[in-house]
A and B are shown apart, each in its own frame.
Chain A
Amino acid sequence: MTRRARSSWILHIALTLTAAVSLMPFAWLICATLKTREDFFTYTFLPWGDPRRWTLANYGALFQRYPFATWMMNSLFLSGAQTVIVVTLSSLGGFALAKYEFRFRRVLTLVMLATMLLPYQVMLPSLQEMMYHFGWINSYAAVIVPGAVSVFGIFLFMQSMKLVPDELLHAGRVDGCSELRLWWEVALPVVRPMVGAFTLLNFMANWNSFLWPQIVLQNAAKHTLPIGLANMMGLPESATPYGVLMAGTLLSILPVIVLFVVLQKDFVAGLASGAVKG
Chain B
Amino acid sequence: MAGAMSFHLGKPILVMALVAVACGAALMARREPARKDLVVWVFAEEHSRAYQPIIDGFEMRTGLSVDLKLMNESAMGRSLQAIFANELRGAGVPDVVEVEINRVGKFFRPPVREVAFEPLRPMLESSGLYEQIVPSRYAPYTKQGVIFGVPHDVHPVGILYREDLFREAGIDLGAAGTWLEFQEACLKFQAFWRGRGVKNRHAVELYAAKVDYLVVMLMQRGVNLVDDYDRVHLDNPKVAETVAFYAGCVAGARRIAGESSGGEGPLARDVVDGNLCAFVCPDWRLALLKEAGGDALRGKLRLMPLPRSEAADAPTATYGGTMGAILRSSPRKQEAWGLLRELYFSHQSLAARRSDHVLPPIRAAWDDPAYQRGDPYFGGQRIDSVLIELAKQIPPRYVAPASGIAGIYLSQVLWKATRQVERKGTEGLTSACQVWLNEAATDLRRRIAQMSFDEGGG
On whether the beta carbons of A218 and B78 are closer than 8 Å, the reply is yes
Is A11's beta carbon under 8 Å from chain B?
A: no
Partner of A199, one of B12, B76, B86: B12
Contact of A220 among B75, B86, B100, B266 (CB under 8 A): B75
> Could you tell me if B27 and A77 are in contact, using CB atoms closer than 8 angstroms?
yes
Q: In the assembly, what is the distance between CA of A221 and CA of B33, in Å?
A: 12
B156 smallest CB distance to A (angstroms): 15
Closest to A215 in B: B78
Considering the chains assembled together, what is the distance between the CA atoms of A189 and B8 in angstroms? 6
A238 to chain B, nearest CB (A): 6
**List of B residues within 8 angstroms of A81 by Cβ:** 17, 20, 24
A84-B21 Cα distance, complex, nearest whole Å? 11
For residue B286, give the distance in angstroms from its CB to the closest CB of chain A. 12
Whether A155 is near chain B, meaning CB under 8 Å from some CB there, is: no
- Give CA–CA (A220, B11) in the complex, Å: 32
CB-defined contacts of A87 to chain B, threshold 8 Å: 9, 13
- B86 with A240: CB separation less than 8 A: no
Considering the complex, give the chain A residue whose CB is closest to the CB of B76: A218
A88 to B71 alpha-carbon distance, docked (Å):
36
The stretch of A17-25, A100-108, A113-121, A229-237 that contacts the partner chain: A229-237
Q: Is A34 an interface residue (CB 8 A)?
A: no
State whether A262 touches B265 (Cβ < 8 A): no
Please measure, in the bound complex, the distance between the C-alpha atom of A34 and the C-alpha atom of B445, giving whole angstroms. Answer: 52
Residues B79 and A218 in contact, CB atoms below 8 Å apart = yes
Q: Are B100 and A80 in touch, CB under 8 angstroms?
A: no
Q: What CA separation (Å) do A128 and B76 show in the bound complex?
A: 16
Of A36-44, A47-55, A145-153, A158-166, the stretch lying at the interface with chain B is A36-44
Contact between chains at B82 and A128 (CB < 8 Å): yes
Closest to B269 in A: A41
Give the bracket for the number of chain A residues in contact with chain B. Answer: 35 or more
Bound-state CA distance A192–B72 (Å) is 42
B284 within 8 A of A: yes
* CB pair A214 B75 closer than 8 Å: yes
Is A74 positioned at the interface, with any CB of B under 8 Å from its CB? yes
Check if B82 sits within 8 Å of A132, measured CB to CB.
yes
9-residue interface stretch from B221-229, B239-247, B287-295: B287-295
Judged by a CB distance under 8 angstroms, whether A138 is at the interface is: yes
User: In the complex, which residues of chain A have a beta carbon less than 8 angstroms from the beta carbon of B455?
Assistant: none
A76 at the interface (CB under 8 A from B): yes
**Of B12, B13, B79, B320, which is in contact with the most chain A CB atoms at under 10 Å from its CB?**
B12
Q: Is the contact region of chain A dominated by helix, strand, or loop, or is it mixed? A: helix
A84's nearest neighbour on chain B, judged by CB, is: B17
Set of chain A residues within 8 Å of B46, measured between Cβ atoms:
238
Contact between B75 and A239, CB atoms less than 8 A apart: no
The answer to whether A237 touches B12 (Cβ under 8 A) is: no
Q: Indicate whether A184 reaches chain B with its CB closer than 8 angstroms.
A: yes
A84 touches B86 (CB 8 A): no
Q: Which residues on B sit within 8 Å (CB–CB) of A80?
A: 16-17, 19-20, 23
A58 within 8 A of B: no
- Asked whether any CB of chain B lies closer than 8 Å to the CB of A225, the reply is no
Query: Across the interface, do A218 and B13 meet the contact criterion of CB distance under 8 Å?
Result: no
Which residues on the A side are within 8 Å of B13 (C-beta)?
A: 83-84, 87, 195, 199
A262 to B15, CA, bound (A): 12
User: Bound state CA distance, A231 and B75, in angstroms?
Assistant: 8
Residue of B nearest to A184 (CB): B8
CA distance A73 to B23 in the complex (A): 6
Given B19, B86, B92, which contacts A76 in the complex, CB threshold below 8 Å?
Answer: B19
CB distance from B67 to the nearest CB of A (A): 13
Decide: A235 near B73, CB < 8 A? Known: A132-B86, A192-B10, A199-B13. Answer: yes
Q: List 18 A-B contacts (CB under 8 A).
A: A37-B265, A73-B27, A76-B19, A76-B20, A80-B17, A80-B23, A84-B9, A87-B13, A128-B82, A185-B6, A196-B10, A199-B10, A199-B13, A218-B76, A235-B44, A237-B284, A240-B264, A262-B11
Residues of A that sit less than 8 Å from B by CB: 37-38, 40-42, 73-74, 76-77, 79-81, 83-84, 87-88, 91, 128-129, 132, 137-138, 140, 184-185, 188-189, 192, 195-196, 199, 203, 214-215, 218-221, 223, 227, 231, 234-240, 242, 259, 262-263, 266
